[in-house]
């Protein structure tokens, strides 16, 4: 029975190899001769005046979260629109229910004040 799991073992080992391997190869084989010129800023010719990993205002995240939801739900509307004439009233009502649920979500976030910038 145990030999049935051989492919899984192979998969696990290959998987680890694929994940860890390239990093290891880069670490081992890549020449590492830092000097002052190499470590200095490359872009635009002047030293950076801020850390690129700076913090964004938390409100951007909120907008991004709300955007991503409504943005992707719309993906369901396109395939529906293509076959709407075949689906008839059933399709129309089903899509209305779906959009109604989205509107409920929208009302909720509006009333909760998630859309206020200040």
**Residue selected from 26, 79, 116, 118 as contacting other proteins according to rule CB under 8 A:** 79
Any contact of residue 112 with other proteins (CB under 8 A)? yes
Three state DSSP letters for 8-60: HHHHHHHHHHHHHHHHHHHHHHCCCCCCHHHHCCCCCCCCCCCCCCCCCCHHH
| Cα angle value 90/94/96 (rounded, 5°) | 115
Q: Which is nearer to other proteins, 46 or 55 (CB)?
A: 55
The yes or no reply on residue 63 touching other proteins (CB under 8 A) is no
Burial call 26-41: b when 16+ CB within 10 Å, e when fewer: eeeeeeeeeeeeeeee
Tell me which residue has tokens 């670490």. 27
Check binding of 102 to other proteins (CB under 8 A): no
Q: Which of 48, 54, 75, 82 binds other proteins (CB under 8 A)?
A: 75
Among 24, 25, 68, 81, binds other proteins (CB under 8 A): 68
Q: Is 88 in the site for other proteins (CB under 8 A)?
A: yes
Q: For 75, which DSSP code?
A: G
Residues that bind other proteins (CB under 8 A): 1, 4-5, 7-8, 11, 14-16, 18-20, 58, 61-62, 64-66, 68-69, 71-73, 75-76, 79, 85-88, 90-91, 101, 104, 107-108, 111-112
């Amino acid at each position: 029975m145990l030999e049935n799991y051989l492919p899984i073992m192979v998969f696990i080992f290959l998987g680890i190899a694929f994940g860890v391997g390239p990093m290891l190869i880069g670490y081992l084989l890549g020449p590492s001769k830092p000097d002052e010129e190499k470590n200095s800023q490359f872009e635009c010719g002047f030293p950076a005046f801020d850390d690129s990993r700076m913090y964004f205002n938390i409100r951007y995240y909120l907008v991004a979260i709300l955007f991503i939801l409504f943005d992707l739900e719309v993906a369901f509307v396109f395939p529906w629109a293509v076959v709407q004439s075949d689906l008839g009233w059933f399709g129309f009502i089903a899509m209305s229910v779906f959009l109604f649920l989205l509107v409920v979500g929208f009302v909720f976030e509006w009333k909760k004040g998630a859309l206020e910038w200040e």
